């Protein structure tokens, strides 16, 4: 493996539930060690409760404020803040503000970026995700593909119920 650089405008942006994610590093170019995904999360955006049994997840806020619920904890992360969620912990994140936020998602070991590739829709340059993208069809696709990457398939019927507290 050799050192390399990935420029700000490099990577394929993907729409996933009103948000735009761009895979910057993946298992192929890091030897499986880490994946890093840049996210632009719209107001109210972010996934429902889920967990990763095989990977730790780290959030880094570049712009805006991110709410991360992990286990029974609630973190308000601002620019420059990291939130670490160990594998096996149910969690979700949300943009509770009225403007988009910019974050980095990091997974170690790498591999979860495949979920974004398989469930996301290639974004059109300069266009924000259409609001209808967060619909029943997108949820069905996430459930079908999610089983490859998540041991817990999210409960789309009860998205606000914390599985840690059941």
Q: Is residue 163 part of a domain?
A: no
- Tally of domains within the chain: 1
Q: Is residue 77 part of a domain?
A: yes
Q: Is residue 50 part of a domain?
A: yes
* 43-77 burial code (b ≥16 CB/10 A, e <16): eebbbbbbbbeebbbbbbbeebebbbbbbeeebeb
Residue 83's CATH number: 2.60.120.10
Question: How does pLDDT run across 20-30, given as a tens digit for each residue?
Answer: 999 999 999 99
Is residue 109 scored above 80 in pLDDT? yes
Q: Is residue 152 part of a domain?
A: no
What range does the domain containing 65 cover? 21-111
Cβ distance 41 to 100 under 8 Å? yes
* Residue 112, CB-side half-sphere exposure with 13 Å CA sphere: 22
Name which of 5-14, 57-66, 74-83 the model is least confident about. 5-14
Q: Is residue 25 part of a domain?
A: yes
The mean pLDDT value for 147-166 works out to 62
């Amino acid at each position: 493996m050799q050192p390399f650089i990935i420029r700000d405008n490099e990577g394929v942006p993907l729409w996933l539930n009103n948000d735009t994610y761009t895979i910057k590093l993946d298992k192929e170019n890091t030897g499986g060690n880490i994946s890093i995904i840049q996210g632009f999360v719209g107001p109210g955006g972010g996934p429902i409760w889920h967990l990763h049994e095989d990977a730790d997840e780290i959030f880094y806020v570049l712009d805006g404020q991110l709410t991360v619920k992990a286990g029974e904890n609630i973190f308000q992360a601002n620019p420059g803040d990291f939130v670490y969620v160990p594998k096996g912990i149910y969690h979700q994140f949300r943009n509770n503000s009225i403007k988009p936020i910019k974050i980095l998602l990091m997974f170690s070991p790498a591999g979860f970026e495949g979920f974004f590739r398989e469930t996301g829709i290639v974004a059109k340059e300069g266009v924000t995700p259409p609001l209808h993208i967060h619909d029943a069809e997108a949820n069905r696709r996430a459930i079908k593909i999610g089983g490859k990457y998540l041991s817990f398939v999210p409960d789309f019927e009860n998205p606000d119920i914390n599985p840690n507290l059941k």
